[in-house]
Structure 1
């Protein structure tokens, strides 16, 4: 079967992981081009990964390159514009989290893809992470009985790129960056059971000098099937990456830790290279992750989408799923801002979700 030609839009940390995943695990895909806002960065990325074409203009890439799929690994504020252009050009789209900055943008993106007849997949890797998937199958096999609570946490000491800290580019802090993972995983585990209420607490505890967004958050979600989901996220946790989940049932419990048991325990006085950059998380004791991309589900999600394009199938995780996750994020910010439980549906119109936390009095009627 003909290989699917993919253009990677972005040349940062996540684009590097996607490229490695395609190259090593998705032979059905061919990386045809890369785009970055900075021309030198685009060329450096292309040279490093031996990609034939590189661009610093999305319009030129879409007009000049024969591609079937665009893989959007760009800052949040660019998601809407690039998705609309790609859909108009007839390209299938896989997009990194969060789907968009606002619900209005999400609706516009979904509608544009439907009108153009192109596939839109929300890239939620936790729905494909091997350990998490094994835990889900345990539940389906009845190992823990009736589930009454799910917990998921993702924590580290902060993102690699500056734009994450700029709420005008990201739309929020750690909840927008990582909380979306836990929320999407809850919905995946519960077969998209509807969320009915959200209660949240958030603070900026470590990065006050860098961001107005929250760097530590706790969100409690109640679903219509009676299950409670608790998602904890932090950019303030020292000692490296932490990503784990818990499934609590009436007859048992299951724990899945993406990194423990798949790492080398190491001590480094000065730190070591990590995905093209040195970070303070590698100083001292740390867990050097073996096959990090594979453990987190990136190759599996990308392979799934390429196969959807090849065989004209609907992705398991769609743009509409991404939109539902974003609505819960809205409700979490509103809950933290107003200090009360927020009922769903929740469709407050704001410039960016974090405003519901930072400026609750100017939004609440």
Structure 2
């Protein structure tokens, strides 16, 4: 089958991750061009990854390159423009988190892709991370009984690029940067069960002189099916990256730590597995292995979207999922700003989500 031609927009940290994923794990794709706002940086990135063409104008790339989809790895405030231009050119789109800065931008982007009949995938890698997927399958196999609480946390001492600290470019702080992962993973685990309310607490702890954005946040989400989700995020945590999840059920618990060990730690009162596959060895504490691959799921999500383009399938995670995550983020900022629980659906106009906290 013909390889899918990819144009990557961006040349920063996440673009490097995506390129390495394509090169090592997605032979069905060929990255044919790169865009970034700096011509010098675009040239250097192209040379580093042996990409044939490089541009400092999206319009020039679209006009001069034969390609099938764009992989958007740009700062948040550039997502809308890039998406609208790609959709107008009839190109499929995979876009890094968050989907957009505002709900209005998200709606415009989703509508543009639907009108152009192009696919829009929200690149939430936790829905593809091998450990997290092994944990999800344990739940499906009956390991923990009925789930009543999900927890996810991602913490480190601060992001790699300066624009993250500029709330006019990012739209918010650590919640916009990393909280979107936990929220999306909750919805993935719960098959997009409706979120009913959000309660949040946030503050700026470590980076007060660098940003107006929050660098530590705790968000509690109550879902229609009775499950409570707790997402914790921090740019103030010392000692390196921490990314883990917990699944609590009536018959067991599962812990998945992306960066420690090579297994999921689980406790099951009754054992797990489908039908006759259940054995005594799965009762109690066990270490559940996962396939060797990038821990965070980047190559898996990219490979999935390439397959969707090749076979005309709908992505498992779409722009509408990204929009739903953004709505919960809005409610979390409003909750922290007003000091109360916010019910969903939630809609309040704001120049950027963090204004609901800074200017309640």
Task: Tell whether the 8 Å contact from 1:246 to 1:256 is kept in structure 2 after alignment.
Answer: yes
Question: 1:325 aligns to what?
Answer: 325
2:163 paired with 1:168: no
SS at match of 2:294: helix
Name the TM-score, length of structure 2 as normaliser: 0.91
Tell me what 1:236 maps to.
236
Change (3 A) 1:292 1:107: farther
Quick check: 293-302 or 222-231, which moved more? 293-302
CA contact (8 A) 1:17 1:293 kept: no
- 1:157, 1:237 within 8 Å by CA — same for their partners in 2? yes
Question: Counterpart in 1 of 2:222?
Answer: 222
RMSD between superposed Cα atoms in Å: 1.2
- What is residue 155 of structure 1 aligned with on the other side? 155
- 1:305-344, aligned counterparts within 5 Å? 305-344=305-344
User: Is the partner of 1:115 in helix, strand or coil?
Assistant: helix
Tell me if structure 2 keeps the 8 A contact 1:21–1:293: no
- Greater than 4 Å deviation, 4+ residue runs: none
CA change 1:292–1:134 in 2 (3 A) is closer
- Whether the aligned pair in 1 keeps the contact of 2:130 and 2:293 (CA below 8 Å) is no
1:89 maps to which residue? Answer: 89
Residues 77 and 309 (structure 1), Cα distance of their counterparts in 2 relative to 1, 3 Å cut? same
Answer yes or no: is 1:185 the counterpart of 2:182: no
Cα deviation, residue 261, structure 1? 1.1
Q: Runs of 5+ in structure 2 lacking a partner? A: 264-290
- Tell me the distance in 2 between the aligned counterparts of 1:191 and 1:248: 17
CA distance in 1, matches of 2:117, 2:87: 8
1:127 corresponds to: 127
Which residue in 1 is equivalent to 2:70? 70
Residue 295 of structure 1: SS of its match in structure 2? coil
Q: Matched residue of 2:71: which SS?
A: strand
Matched, 1:56 2:56: yes
CA distance in 1, matches of 2:260, 2:91: 38
TM alignment of 1:246-285, pairs within 5 A: 246-261=246-261
Partner of 2:39: 39
Partner residue of 2:137?
Answer: 137
Under a length normalisation based on structure 1, what TM-score does the superposition of the two structures give?
Answer: 0.90
Deviation per CA, 1:170-190: give whole Å up to 9, x if none: 000000000000000000000
SS in 1 for 2:138: helix
**Unaligned stretches of 5+ residues in structure 1:** 264-290, 361-365
Aligned match of 2:200? 200
